[in-house]
Amino acid sequence: MKKTYQIAVFPGDGIGVEVIREALKILDVLAATANVAFEVRHGLIGGAAYDASGTPFPAESLDLALGSDAVLLGAVGGPKWEGLDYSVRPERALLGLREKLGLFANMRPVRVFDELVAASPLKPEVVRGIDIMIIRELTGDLYFGKPRGIRMENGQRIGVNTLVYTEEEIRRIALVAFETAMKRKKRVVSVDKANVLESTQLWRDVVTEVSRDFPEVDLRHMYVDNCAMQLIGNPAQFDIIVTTNLFGDILSDEAAMITGSIGMLPSASLGVTGGMYEPIHGSAPDIAGQDIANPLATILSVAMMLRYSCRMEKGARCIEAAVQEVLRAGFRTKDIHQEGTMLVGTAEMGDEVVKQFKNIKIAGNS
Ligand code: NAD
């Protein structure tokens, strides 16, 4: 009897729709070749949901997510919805999903494929072999803290957001970082701004406390401004970076460029149960509908889904190997294209990964 996983799929807006289409091709092949079944159910989220129902995060979409083993998401947002009130902006749906599913740990692997070293704006000797896991706290910080909003005071508008972290929130993300470190190179850099922000002094204190249970792990603290610099100057020094919601958001986009394109970076958002998987990029309205978006970040997000939500490490590795083979064979979407490589569109890139994936024999799922 095949194990069946319920997968909620939210393509969202813009290129989200295009890249999810390619990712689902892989799931289909996997279901045909491995001893598993995926019950894929689609839902609306973001601008598409707002257009259909007046809210970016309808109750049915939440129910769908809550009733699934994993959520696969494309991206949300776009200029069409930029004038809306914040409460109904497409991006609110992401915050809603993270909050309601309790997804507090965002894992963002930043890996430079050898084949893409030349696509990075940094020197080859700086980026070769880079393999960093950025672990971003996802349900606290300025994104959720209250009070928030824009109000009138003494005849002028003031904008307020609140940076708040409880020690429990810090402890649980620190634990994820140290446990992940034990499976990697046993090195953690915790990033904060403890020199000026009290809430991140607490961050530093609690991370240090948690580190005492992991004596084998080397812990360093780094201010976020320095980290932004170090990521460009000497990214090889990092193995795991654990940081707050806002700093993680910014640093991971910066780190994305080390790899050559934001279109290469997958992510997993994990909670106590369940998980959500999505590329780190947005809906890219500037290239939407042109069949030029890079689907590899989303395809690699499926690999993360297999690893974390389906416990199918072998399947995950097969997808990663297929992506590597496609790059080795010289196929490139526009964002990573260089002279001497073959320019392909979104759909063709997806097909090439499927071809390679089929070639790589999956000897059962583990
Ligand atoms: P973006 O990530 O959508 O795009 C930034 C740049 O990277 C653009 O030039 C785009 O063309 C390029 N790019 C992104 N993904 C690509 C891919 N797969 N292949 C090739 N090129 C790619 O960020 P943005 O332009 O700041 O935001 C656009 C919209 O997306 C906004 O509405 C924003 O709020 C939203 N957004 C959503 C998410 C999400 O859904 N998780 C994340 C970030 C931004």
Instruction: Indicate whether 262 belongs to any domain.
Output: no
| Interval between CA 75 and ligand 1 midpoint (Å) | 8
Backbone torsion region of residue 14, taken as left when φ is above 0, otherwise alpha when ψ lies between -120 and 50, otherwise beta:
left
Instruction: Indicate whether 261 belongs to any domain.
Output: no
pLDDT of 85: 93
pLDDT of 31: 87
Question: 240: how many CB neighbours lie within 10 A of its CB?
Answer: 23
Instruction: Indicate whether 263 belongs to any domain.
Output: no
Last residue of a domain, one of 203, 225, 255: 255
Domains: count for the chain: 2
293 and 324 both lie in a single domain: yes
Q: Looking at the annotation, which residues are catalytic?
A: 143, 193, 225, 249, 253
122 and 229 both lie in a single domain: yes
Separation CA 265–CA 278 (nearest Å) = 9
Instruction: Indicate whether 265 belongs to any domain.
Output: no
| Residue 299 beta carbon below 6 angstroms from any ligand 1 atom | no
Domain encompassing residue 319? 1-104+271-366
| Residue 74 beta carbon below 6 angstroms from any ligand 1 atom | no
248 and 114 both lie in a single domain: yes
56 and 140 both lie in a single domain: no
Residues of the chain with pLDDT under 70: 361-366
98 and 116 both lie in a single domain: no
CA distance to 132, 146, 160, per residue, from 151 (Å): 41, 14, 8
Judge contact between 216 and 178, C-beta under 8 A. no
Question: 230: how many CB neighbours lie within 10 A of its CB?
Answer: 16
Instruction: Indicate whether 266 belongs to any domain.
Output: no
97 and 114 both lie in a single domain: no
